Amino acid sequence: MRKADYSRIASFYDKGRSLSEQNIDIWLGLILKFSKFSEGAKVLDLGCGTGRFALPMASRLRFSVTGADSSKEMLAKAKEKDTARLVKWDYQDAECLTYPDNSFDVVFMSHLLHHVNSPHRVIKEGERILNTPGVILIRYGAIEQIRDDIEHKFFPEVLIIDEARTPTVKMVEKWLGDAGFTDIISEGVVQQTYDTGIAHLNAAKVKSTSVLSMISQEGFEKGIHDLAKYVENNINDPWLLFDRLTLTVGYKGDVT
């Protein structure tokens, strides 16, 4: 599988990937709703990147959070932001975690599964390290949700890459079921990612979506040119502002 080089991406990742306060509130609310755990719960943010979710889960929900990632550069950025040392940061391979069985109450992952060679193995590892009861929460854009978004329409090479690696909602649900999770549920979320079309264009220019770093320079430049023209002519189009995402949840044991 072709993979993005996060050792290079880390230096500019947050420029186009910041989460608004409104969106943080949306996702924290969903994490609380579906995890059914309260303050002090042991949470693993697997594929934590620069800590976009690990830090607010620790500071706002008061969970005991471990952030794990396979990019030392992304972890370094996360540690820089964690001035209060709220989170434990670990260098880990998601497909072969070093944590003992029954180490966490919650495993959370955001936009991770399309970056690994064996998504079902990652999920099985999540099941292994969860306590009973425990819960896994997977945040992602399913292929049926992202196929028609800005990045996939204006950058055709991106669509080719993501069609080969991005699961459907049904696939993620099946992986959870195969790993032994029960009471599996998926909830769609419409998120306003950008305030303006210009903001979306500027994010694309810095390759805020990691897959943009994987396409040819020619394809990237043409996409930016075409997107800039579209933004100029359709400045108020909601298509430029909103993303469709999914949270799929599975339980290990009875979480009440």
Phi, psi for 168 (deg, rounded to 5)? -85, 170
Q: Does position 73 have pLDDT exceeding 70, yes or no?
A: yes
Crossing angle (nearest 10°) for helices 217-233 and 197-205:
170
Write down the pLDDT at residue 208.
85
Q: 48: closest CA among 100, 109, 7?
A: 109
pLDDT 10s digits, 96-107? 999 999 999 999
Q: What is the pLDDT of residue 254?
A: 85
Q: Coil, strand or helix: which one is 103?
A: coil
**Is the omega angle on the peptide bond into residue 133 within 30 degrees of 0, that is, cis?**
yes
Reported in sequence order, the residue ranges of the chain that DSSP labels E, i.e. its strands, are 42-46, 64-69, 88-91, 104-110, 130-140, 182-192, 242-252
- Average pLDDT of span 156-175: 97
Residue 9: which pLDDT band, with cuts at 50, 70 and 90?
A: low
For tokens 């075409």, the residue is 226
Q: Is the pLDDT of residue 59 over 50?
A: yes
- Give me the helices (H) in 109-191, please: 119-129, 143-146, 150-154, 156-165, 169-178
Mean of pLDDT values over 107-114: 97
Q: What is the pLDDT confidence band of residue 4, given thresholds at 50, 70 and 90?
A: low
Q: Which domains does the chain carry? A: 6-143+166-193+242-252 (3.40.50.150)
Reference 204, options 15, 50, 8, 57; nearest CA is: 15
**pLDDT for the residue 217:** 97
**pLDDT above 80 (res 17):** no
3-state secondary structure of 217: helix
Q: List, for residues 169-223, the tens digit of each pLDDT value.
A: 999 999 999 999 999 999 999 999 999 999 999 999 999 888 999 999 999 999 9
Which pLDDT score is estimated for 170?
98
Confidence (pLDDT) at 10? 47
How much is the mean pLDDT over the chain?
93
44-48, 167-171, 233-237 — which is least confidently predicted?
233-237
With a cut of 70, say whether residue 6 has pLDDT above it. no
pLDDT, average across residues 220-235: 97
Q: pLDDT band for 19, please (50, 70, 90 cuts).
A: confident
